[in-house]
Structure 1
Amino acid sequence: MAEPPVVQLAGVHAVSALGRGAEAQLAAAPAFGPVHRFDTAARRVTVAATLPEVGTLADELADAIDAACRSAGLDRARRAESALLLAVHGGPAPGVEPVPSALAGRLAVRCGLSGHTRVYTSACVSASTAVADAATLISRGELTRVVVAAGYLVEPDQFALFDAGRALADDGAVRPFSAGRRGLLLGDGVAAVVVESRAAGRRGVEPVVTVAGWGRAGDAYHPCQPDPTGAGLARAAGAALRRAGLPPQAVGYVNANATGTAQSDAAEAAALRRALDGYAAEVPVSSTKGLHGHALEASGLLELVVTAMALRAGELPVNAGWQAPDEACPLNVITGAPRRTTPTHALTLNAAFGGANTALLVGVP
């Protein structure tokens, strides 16, 4: 039996309040500030990580797709052979943005991609699920190249829902895994990546990273609360490692899902202890949501780009907002400043309401 194709990211692009471009996502200072995009006077929290100037979501997504395709060296013919998997919120306001399926079709036409499109609206694992599906389709030989794009721009409806649910941090900072953490903060995030087989990428463009493994698991523990044992997320991480044929010790960095909420951070720490055994206390861990905020449906792709760029740069992102250790999160958290290192593989984790969990394992090409 022939070996499955090597899957790689050939081009990446991302936009957040940290800046425009993939390299800008390695900034070390949190990007939170007052929200000026809409009225927050009636809200308990008035802070998010938003770009000062931003286009429509459709325009930002089109620009990100174009930039990722250019960085991957895709000409018009190669673009026309590329499928589009799109992760966005499932219910745009009528008259503001087209429904997701229509948006995907319009973006494919606008960016010169094939008519093969698929939409993901599964909350905070939307984008990471799309990447896992892209990698699966390529590894099976069903497709040779897929563009995955995702976007969320902070808007009043979701902001109001999270604020009313008291999920937002009322001290204006996200403090993943830290004692004294008070919740999450939302943030803009738009990203696009070109996922392809190594054979399809032979055109003089160096891949950003390989996609060595991926895993998904559901725990159905509660509609909103995570399983405190971390069992589902641990299964997803374990599946990614098994697919890659690597032991836990091969993971040199974990970009955690950690949102800065008490229950989810503790559950994720438990998941890492399950998935990585005794190595969980050694591997460097950070959640970049403490820098760019929670981009909801786009989080998985934004954080994948951050993880890929950190792996290439050999500089692991800081876990911003840290105050003190929490005994419920006994991890090697990167505090104070980014950490210089040379890992060969990194794991990025995401979790969503309803018990959905994903893990993506990337490696140095």
Structure 2
Amino acid sequence: MASAARRGPGSVVVTGAAVLSAFGEGVGPLLAATLDGTPAFAPVRRFGVAGRRAAHAAAHPGAPVLAEELTRMVGQACDQAGLSAAQRADCPLHLAVHGDPDLPRVPEEDRPAHGSDAFADTVARRSGLSGASRAYTSACVASSTAVADAAALIARGRADRIVVAAGYLVDADQFAVFDAGRALARDGRVRPFSAGRSGLLLGDAVVAVVVESAASAARRRARPLARLAGWGRAGDAHHVCRPRPDGAGLARAITDALHRARLRPEEIGYVNAHGSGSPAGDTAESAALHRAFGDSARTVPVSSTKAVHGQALEAGALLELVVTMSALSAGKLPVNAGYLGPDPSCPLGLILDRPADAGSAYGLSLTMAFGGANTALLVGTP
């Protein structure tokens, strides 16, 4: 049983959420695509890919500008949460980004003004938030770490509410890095936990959520979208880019999230897995679920929505948290798209062919990152 001091004295909820993805603006189109298993991958048009091994990504049409889209999504999330201008002005920002997109191409003397912290300050100022901002750049766990930090501060009474935002727009530099590392799927599809899987594909995501104490939301008569019931983080430092094969670090993160939420594994009704579609990563994640869930690992419904919206790097965990929240609220669970057939190294209860009915109020959203960082966010219906 978790102690009150460790878990924190107060409940934490999400009262606003906004998303821009390859499916357009809003949670609705994104959720519909994940439920149907309809991927957004298409040949890249945003920049040239001649000479690359892979040529596909899940990109929003046009030429979105990251700072502008972050400001819009923060505004929409705050609007949904019903925050006044004065309440926004007291609200800190936790921003997960790969960095200021302009940084690589500005003169060296101007680079201090284009660091991640300065970029976070700019987004906060444009959004009418307080000057208290934090930048998170820790690869795929950046935005889930930002959520966990926000939840811990709020649960312990050190903040009433915090806006967590994250953004990544598929760019030529990161595409080239992942392609050179032979991490991208050459067949244009992501196939999590499937036989024949060959890698990940990148995708756009700009996301913002308002994380708030349940007491604060109740005082404002704000309707929670979800509860943040638990969170866990763990590192294994196994390798700079390969996951630890036995999944011990991710298993610890899952167990800690369950501990904070005072829940047993069999009470979890859905796992939105990291499931990047890489051979080693999916196998390690499956091992982690078996370590953390025991016999329940073969029956708990599992899917990776990256098969639909792609890998959004620093923004991916927040995008998948919103998908998990929305799916639980809708009572339907996304399919594990791109599946070709079973892989004996991934014996999981995958959701195949059609959405599953939600059989529990609780779901886990899992993330793994380079360097052995692992996070688990546990959400429940309000």
**What's the counterpart of residue 204 of structure 2?**
188
**What's the counterpart of residue 74 of structure 1?**
83
**What's the counterpart of residue 305 of structure 1?**
322
Task: Kindly provide the CA deviation profile for residues 3-45 of structure 1, in whole angstroms up to 9, marking residues without a partner as x.
Answer: 7111000101111112211122211210000100000012111
Any conservation in 1 of the 2:91–2:163 contact (CA below 8 Å)?
A: yes
Aligned AA (1:115): G
**What's the counterpart of residue 39 of structure 2?**
30
Matched, 1:289 2:306: yes
Q: d(CA) in 1 for partners of 2:255 and 2:138?
A: 22
Task: Kindly provide the CA deviation profile for residues 218-260 of structure 1, in whole angstroms up to 9, marking residues without a partner as x.
Answer: 0011111000100000000000000011100111000000100
**What's the counterpart of residue 241 of structure 2?**
224
Q: d(CA) in 2 for partners of 1:152 and 1:168?
A: 17
Any conservation in 2 of the 1:248–1:279 contact (CA below 8 Å)?
A: yes
- Which TM-score applies when normalising by structure 2? 0.93
Q: 1:342 to 1:53 in 2, by over 3 A?
A: farther
**What's the counterpart of residue 50 of structure 2?**
41
Q: d(CA) in 2 for partners of 1:185 and 1:280?
A: 26
- Which TM-score applies when normalising by structure 1? 0.98
**What's the counterpart of residue 258 of structure 1?**
275
Any conservation in 2 of the 1:311–1:342 contact (CA below 8 Å)?
A: no
Any conservation in 2 of the 1:241–1:247 contact (CA below 8 Å)?
A: yes
**What's the counterpart of residue 106 of structure 1?**
122
Report SS of the residue matched to 1:277: helix
Any conservation in 1 of the 2:100–2:119 contact (CA below 8 Å)?
A: no
Report SS of the residue matched to 1:360: strand
Any conservation in 2 of the 1:11–1:193 contact (CA below 8 Å)?
A: yes
Q: d(CA) in 2 for partners of 1:342 and 1:364?
A: 12
Task: Kindly provide the CA deviation profile for residues 48-72 of structure 1, in whole angstroms up to 9, marking residues without a partner as x.
Answer: 0001124210001001100100111
Task: Kindly provide the CA deviation profile for residues 78-128 of structure 1, in whole angstroms up to 9, marking residues without a partner as x.
Answer: 111111000000463435793221111111111111111100000000000
**Identical counterparts, % of pairs:** 58
Aligned AA (2:171): E
**What's the counterpart of residue 16 of structure 2?**
11
Q: d(CA) in 1 for partners of 2:115 and 2:204?
A: 19
Unaligned runs of 5+ in 1: none
Q: d(CA) in 1 for partners of 2:318 and 2:151?
A: 13
Any conservation in 1 of the 2:151–2:228 contact (CA below 8 Å)?
A: yes
Q: Which moved more, 1:54-63 or 1:19-28?
A: 19-28
Q: d(CA) in 1 for partners of 2:351 and 2:24?
A: 22
Matched, 1:320 2:337: yes
Q: Greater helix share, 1 or 2? A: 2
Q: d(CA) in 1 for partners of 2:300 and 2:339?
A: 17
Residue correspondences, number:
365
Any conservation in 1 of the 2:257–2:378 contact (CA below 8 Å)?
A: yes
Report SS of the residue matched to 1:173: coil
Task: Kindly provide the CA deviation profile for residues 153-192 of structure 1, in whole angstroms up to 9, marking residues without a partner as x.
Answer: 0000000010011100011100000000010000001100
Unaligned runs of 5+ in 2: 107-112
Q: Which moved more, 1:300-309 or 1:341-350?
A: 341-350
Shift of 1:340: 2.3
Matched, 1:332 2:341: no
Aligned AA (1:88): V
**What's the counterpart of residue 57 of structure 1?**
66
Q: d(CA) in 2 for partners of 1:90 and 1:81?
A: 25
Any conservation in 2 of the 1:54–1:60 contact (CA below 8 Å)?
A: no
Q: Which moved more, 1:254-263 or 1:194-203?
A: 194-203
CA RMSD of aligned residues (A): 1.4
Q: d(CA) in 2 for partners of 1:297 and 1:90?
A: 10
Q: d(CA) in 1 for partners of 2:51 and 2:102?
A: 21
List aligned pairs for 1:133-172, cutoff 5 A: 133-172=149-188
Q: d(CA) in 2 for partners of 1:98 and 1:335?
A: 44
Q: d(CA) in 1 for partners of 2:126 and 2:168?
A: 19
**What's the counterpart of residue 198 of structure 1?**
214
Task: Kindly provide the CA deviation profile for residues 129-164 of structure 1, in whole angstroms up to 9, marking residues without a partner as x.
Answer: 000000000011111100000000000000001001
Q: d(CA) in 2 for partners of 1:22 and 1:115?
A: 28
Report SS of the residue matched to 2:198: coil
Report SS of the residue matched to 1:148: strand
Residue of structure 2 aligned with 1:122, choices 134, 138, 141: 138
Report SS of the residue matched to 2:114: coil
Report SS of the residue matched to 2:249: helix
